[in-house]
């Protein structure tokens, strides 16, 4: 049995489908079972729990051989935060896995480091450290930014005006990877004991600036108009004002400012040499229209 925390999310949904397709029993952890309806229909078991509540994890991990953490608290419903979900929530999951002897695969981020200016990257790193010291048998998967998330963000901001909104200058090269490629590597981490004790890095084939991604989105939609920008000054104001009342907004504004200047490019070559079977989906394929009932499109 595999317990998939974050199974209702963008990556988790693709991963759950892959695992059940290989006849593996999957249980998804969610705060709201209504969000897992599409997975229950595929034969996935659904457990209700919140990674911030250690007691709620005890029944969820019962009988699990491997626990996968694909949760994130950077954004989303329920007043989440990187400190409460990516750090403390992961600690709770690791401790719950330890109590039952389960192994654990942790989704982390490329660039996770104790001294990163990005809060999320520091919290992921702290969770990695706890896992390494826990005695649990582990694999860590560090991924770059998900293409599908940013394509959705930019496309949604273009919905009315036909012009995507880039937060900041948008001229820093960023590595984007498709969730389908990440799901393939996480599935390998779940099923291959040889990956225990290893940090697997995954990036996509392209380093693109947000401006370049916005132009690609415009071209795929048959539009030629240039993207709009929220200038850095407005982001700083947003972080200082709106961010005090709505922490998530402040976090997003601070992250946008950092994404303009910290190193987020990645050379995907090494991981691809180690795992030549993992796909390397280019942005053009991520931009191709998806079937109407696609869960990826719906998110
Ligand atoms: N998105 C990226 O660009 C990116 C890049 C690198 C790494 N990652 C990592 O990849 C993983 C998947 O990311 P994603 O973008 O696919 O996530 P997502 O679509 O935003 O989904 C987030 C998931 O986290 C779960 N979650 C959040 N707070 C929770 C809580 N308190 N208790 C239990 N579950 C909670 C949600 O479950 P419910 O709402 O159903 O409770 C949901 O399934 C994350 O670990 C993320 O940090 C993401």
Give CA–CA dist 57/48, Å, rounded. Answer: 9
Length of the chain: 299
- The pLDDT of residue 268 is 67
- Give the residues surrounding ligand 1 with Cβ less than 6 Å away: 5-6, 8-12, 29-32, 35, 50-52, 70-73, 76, 80, 85, 89, 107, 109, 143, 145-146, 149
Secondary structure letter of residue 205 according to DSSP:
S
Beta carbons within 8 Å of 197's beta carbon, 6+ residues apart: 137, 138, 139
* The predicted structure's pLDDT at residue 229: 98
For the CA of 124, the closest atom of ligand 1 is 47
CA of 8 to the centre of ligand 1 (A): 8
Which ligand 1 atom is at minimum distance from the Cα of 84? 31
Distance from Cα 191 to the centre of ligand 1, integer Å: 21
Question: In which residue are the tokens 């799901």 written?
Answer: 183
Task: Note whether 83 and 123 are within 8 A (CB).
Answer: yes
- From 88, 53, 80, 112, select the one nearest 251 (Cα to Cα): 80
How close is the Cα of 11 to the center of ligand 1, in Å? 8
pLDDT at 271: 61
Of residues 239, 240, 237, 233, the one with CA closest to residue 252: 239
What's the confidence (pLDDT) of residue 275?
A: 83
**Averages of pLDDT over each 10 residues, the chain, 299 residues:** 98 97 95 95 96 98 98 96 98 98 98 98 98 98 97 94 96 97 97 97 94 96 95 96 90 97 86 81 85 46
Q: What pLDDT does 61 receive?
A: 98
Pocket test for ligand 1, best of 38, 54, 59, 70 (most atoms within 8 A of CB): 70
- Give start and end residues of each alpha helix (H) in 46-192: 54-61, 90-100, 119-134, 147-157, 179-191
Measured in angstroms, how far is the CA atom of residue 32 from the centroid of ligand 1? 14
Q: State the distance from the centre of ligand 1 to the C-alpha of 77, rounded, in angstroms.
A: 11
Hey, which of 60, 72, 202, 252 would you mutate to test ligand 1's pocket, going by the most ligand atoms within 8 Å of its Cβ?
72
Work out which ligand 1 atom sits closest to the CA atom of 7: 43
CA distance 90 to 72: 9
pLDDT attached to residue 298: 34
Quote the ligand 1 centre to 73 CA distance (angstroms): 7
């Amino acid at each position: 049995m595999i317990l998939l925390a974050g199974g209702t999310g963008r990556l988790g949904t693709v991963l759950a489908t892959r695992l059940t397709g290989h006849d593996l029993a999957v249980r998804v952890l969610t705060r709201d079972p209504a969000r897992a309806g599409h997975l229950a229909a595929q034969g996935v078991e659904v457990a209700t729990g919140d990674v911030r509540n250690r007691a709620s994890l005890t029944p969820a991990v019962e009988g699990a051989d491997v626990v996968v953490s694909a949760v994130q608290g950077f954004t989303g419903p329920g007043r989440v935060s990187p400190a409460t979900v990516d750090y403390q929530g992961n600690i709770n999951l690791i401790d719950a896995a330890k109590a039952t002897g389960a192994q654990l695969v942790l989704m982390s981020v490329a660039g996770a480091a104790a001294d990163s200016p990005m809060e999320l990257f520091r919290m992921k790193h702290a969770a990695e450290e706890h896992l390494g010291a826990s005695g649990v048998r582990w694999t860590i998967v560090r991924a770059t930014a998900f293409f599908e998330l940013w394509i959705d963000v930019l496309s949604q901001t273009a919905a009315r005006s036909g012009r995507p909104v880039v937060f900041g200058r948008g001229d820093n090269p960023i590595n984007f990877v498709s969730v389908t490629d990440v799901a393939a590597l996480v599935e390998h981490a779940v099923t291959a004991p040889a990956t225990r004790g290893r940090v697997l890095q995954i990036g996509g084939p392209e380093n693109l600036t947000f401006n370049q991604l916005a132009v690609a989105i415009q071209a795929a939609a048959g539009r030629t108009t240039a993207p709009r920008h929220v200038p850095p000054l407005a982001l700083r104001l947003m972080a200082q004002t709106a961010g005090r009342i709505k922490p998530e907004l402040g976090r997003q504004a601070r992250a946008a400012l950092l994404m303009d200047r910290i190193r987020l490019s990645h050379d995907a070559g090494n991981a691809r040499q180690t795992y030549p079977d993992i796909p390397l989906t280019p942005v053009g394929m991520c931009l191709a229209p998806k079937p109407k009932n696609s869960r990826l499109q719906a998110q």
